[in-house]
Amino acid sequence: MAVIKTERLTIKSPELDDVGAMVALINNWEITKWLSNVPYPYLQSDGIGFVKRSKQKHEIGSNFNYLVFLQDTLVGGVGLSLQENGIYNLGYWVGKQYWGQGIATEASYALLAFGFDNLRQTKIQAGYFDGNDASAHVLKKLGFVSLGRTKLFSKSQNQVLCDHMMYLEKCGFENLD
Letter for the amino acid at 175? Answer: N
* Burial environment of residue 61 by CB neighbours within 10 A (0 to 12, 13 to 18, 19 or more): exposed
- pLDDT tens for residues 45-59? 999 999 998 887 655
Query: Cα 119 from chain centroid?
Result: 16
The tens digit of pLDDT for each residue in 9-24 reads 999 999 999 999 999 9
Alpha helices in the chain (DSSP H): 19-26, 29-32, 44-54, 103-117, 133-142, 170-174
CATH superfamily of 4-174: Gcn5-related N-acetyltransferase (GNAT) (3.40.630.30)
pTM: 0.93
What SS3 class is residue 34? coil
Kindly list the domain boundaries of the chain, sorted by start residue.
4-174
Q: Contact, 22 vs 14, CB < 8 A? A: yes
